[in-house]
Structure 1
């Protein structure tokens, strides 16, 4: 069964890179540039994994992570939080993130982390 990954990232270039990378690995993608966009897409389908950027226009990825982990429909879904500021690592993991990735990231490294969480 094909695994679906939802990427919340406001930077178009990073969204594109992650999208190409994950499609090449055989994942189905949902891409959002804002929290409101993510919430809208969750009404249609729930992913197998979330990748959340910390700094987005209408929210904070760490807070969104905590909200997802406290929601009965999404609490079991693994979450990877990404940030260019490593000060966000402890806060993200404390909010329930299953993993944390520093930007800029190594392409092979991010694929390995996703595969590990999804036990592909």
Structure 2
């Protein structure tokens, strides 16, 4: 069964590129441009969430904190992404399992996802 990865980013170019890469890598990918919709998921959580810090109307760190507080989603790995390296510390403080700076290397992203999903790449 394919591992599910969800991408939450308000940049359509990133959504398209990362979705294509991950699907090519053998993942079942879903995406949203609104981080708040991630909080509405009550069943069928993804196996991993790739979450942008700055999205219009939503701070990914708030979404991350909320997901890590909830019993059913607290163990889901969350990799936060941002164009600003200064935000790595605050991403970790919000409970993110890892951080990637944009633009990121696709190989590095695939390796991090494989690591958190217990797969070898």
TM-fit CA distance, 1:95: 1.2
Pairing 1:1-120 to 2, within 5 Å after superposition: 1-40=1-40, 42-120=41-119
Kept in 1, the 8 Å contact 2:51–2:78? The answer is yes
How many pairs align? 119
Q: TM-score, normalised by structure 2?
A: 0.93
The root-mean-square deviation of aligned C-alpha atoms, in Å, is 1.1
SS in 2 for 1:87: helix
SS in 2 for 1:46: coil
Deviations 1:61-92 (A, max 9, x none): 11111111011110010000000011110011
SS in 1 for 2:6: strand
Q: Distance in 2 between matches of 1:97 and 1:46?
A: 16
Q: Distance in 1 between matches of 2:38 and 2:20?
A: 19
Q: Distance in 2 between matches of 1:94 and 1:104?
A: 22
Unaligned runs of 5+ in 1: none
Deviation beyond 4 Å, 4+ runs, structure 1: none
TM-fit CA distance, 1:44: 4.8
Q: TM-score, normalised by structure 1?
A: 0.94
